[in-house]
Structure 1
Amino acid sequence: MSESTVQGSSALARILGLLREPPGDPDVTAGYLDLLGPAPQRPPSLTMLTRALADRGFTGIRQRRYPLMQVVGGVRH
């Protein structure tokens, strides 16, 4: 199933839920009637978390390199 189909079915499920149980006091502070509100957020994926850690220098290679350099008398930064 494609991502757009999954997102479409999620939006459809939210709309059907609103038809079954309409909000009692809808929020109109934005200047329009926002019945859907913010979309539920997915938890971050493992790949995204791993990439964020790697961008900050937390990789297995870097962690193993420092003890090896200390034993061999490696390059100082």
Structure 2
Amino acid sequence: MSSKFNTDKRSLRGEVKRAIKRYYRNLDGEHPIGLYDLTLSQIEPPLLEVVMKKCRGNQSEASKILGLNRGTLRKKLAKYGLL
């Protein structure tokens, strides 16, 4: 049975988990500051780019896929220079 939070090695969650672990290893014992915001700022732009490309620039369709209202999507696209 599939779970919403599937930790299978092929899942998005699993990929993110491996990336965070790799990031920690690369810090060589240093402690990150603002990791949550850093992570979001690194994940959001490619997520938005890929979804917008798949939707051929249709913001209404992209907002449905992302579960965001269209205004929020536009703000995020503008924030990352994707408009």
**TM-score after normalising by structure 2:** 0.32
Of the two, which has the highest radius of gyration?
1
**TM-score after normalising by structure 1:** 0.34
